[in-house]
């Protein structure tokens, strides 16, 4: 499917075909594509918990205000952001150094820069959520390209999710993301604001 078609056809689904599961291989393939999203310093803050067993979906549904799509989708991802992702940066960047992409001086400089920047809890949280959201968007587009429907969700209890699934305070729940085969009855794509309503050029004109 062409990229523009994938973008224009994607909807946020609420209704899923409960008879069509996804294999572990299909789920892993989607996450592999999601890992190609950008992140600050290539820290790759995103983490994914794939909830697929019916009993686990019901536990997740209970902390997502009882929304049926959590249990009906083939998989519901708990998308997390790593608040301490920068602590692995030296290890991560050594892979780029070994590949000849960057040198040791740049690696050391980046490690030092991030240690200072992300010592600020607000910066760390903002980056974890920002990177997790970008990875989730790539995951949604990858799913759409494979004929799947997706539904990003902020309607859940973050602390309840962490409690039910043993997620440590190192991670912040960014969103839940349902993925599966759509069944009839989903809303079509809702109208978007026009370009003129969201775009301003830096030429003296003000934002709409």
DSSP string, 52-76: -SHHHHHHHHHTTTT-THHHHSSEE
State which H helix or E strand residue 77 sits in: strand 75-82
What local confidence, expressed as pLDDT, does residue 31 receive? 98
What local confidence, expressed as pLDDT, does residue 1 receive? 79
What local confidence, expressed as pLDDT, does residue 201 receive? 85
What local confidence, expressed as pLDDT, does residue 140 receive? 98
CA distance 18 to 24: 16
> And the tokens for 81?
């952001």
pLDDT in tens, 27-71: 999 999 999 999 999 999 999 999 999 999 999 999 999 999 999
CA distance 82 to 43: 9
What local confidence, expressed as pLDDT, does residue 99 receive? 97
Query: Considering only CA atoms, which of 79, 87, 17, 71 is closest in space to residue 48?
Result: 79
Query: Considering only CA atoms, which of 179, 115, 185, 114 is closest in space to residue 147?
Result: 179
Q: What does each C-alpha distance from 50 to 23, 57, 82, 166 come to in angstroms?
A: 12, 10, 16, 14
What local confidence, expressed as pLDDT, does residue 203 receive? 75
CA distance 41 to 37: 12
What angle separates helix 24-34 from helix 121-145, to the nearest 10 degrees?
A: 130
What local confidence, expressed as pLDDT, does residue 205 receive? 66
Residue 184: CB partners within 8 Å, gap ≥ 6? 15
Mean pLDDT for each 10-residue chunk of the chain (208 residues)?
94 98 98 98 98 98 98 98 98 97 97 97 98 98 98 98 98 98 97 93 73
Question: How many percent of the chain have pLDDT more than 90?
Answer: 94
């Amino acid at each position: 499917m062409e990229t523009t078609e994938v973008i224009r056809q994607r909807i946020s689904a609420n209704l899923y075909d409960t008879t069509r599961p996804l294999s572990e291989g299909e789920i892993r393939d989607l996450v592999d594509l999601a890992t190609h999203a950008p992140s600050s310093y290539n820290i790759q803050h995103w983490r994914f918990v794939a909830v697929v067993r019916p009993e686990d979906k019901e536990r997740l549904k209970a902390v997502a205000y009882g929304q049926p799509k959590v249990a009906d989708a083939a998989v519901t991802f708990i998308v997390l952001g790593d608040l301490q992702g920068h602590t692995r940066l030296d290890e991560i960047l050594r892979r780029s150094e070994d590949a000849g992409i960057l040198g040791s001086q740049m690696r050391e400089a980046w490690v030092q820069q991030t240690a200072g920047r992300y010592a600020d809890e607000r910066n760390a949280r903002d980056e974890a959520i920002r990177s997790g959201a970008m990875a989730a968007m790539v995951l949604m587009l990858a799913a759409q390209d494979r004929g799947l429907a997706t539904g990003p969700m902020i309607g859940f209890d973050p602390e309840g999710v962490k409690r039910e699934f043993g997620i440590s305070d190192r991670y912040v729940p960014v969103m839940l993301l349902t993925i599966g085969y759509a069944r009839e009855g989903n809303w079509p794509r809702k109208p978007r604001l026009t370009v003129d309503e969201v775009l301003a050029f830096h030429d003296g004109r003000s934002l709409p």
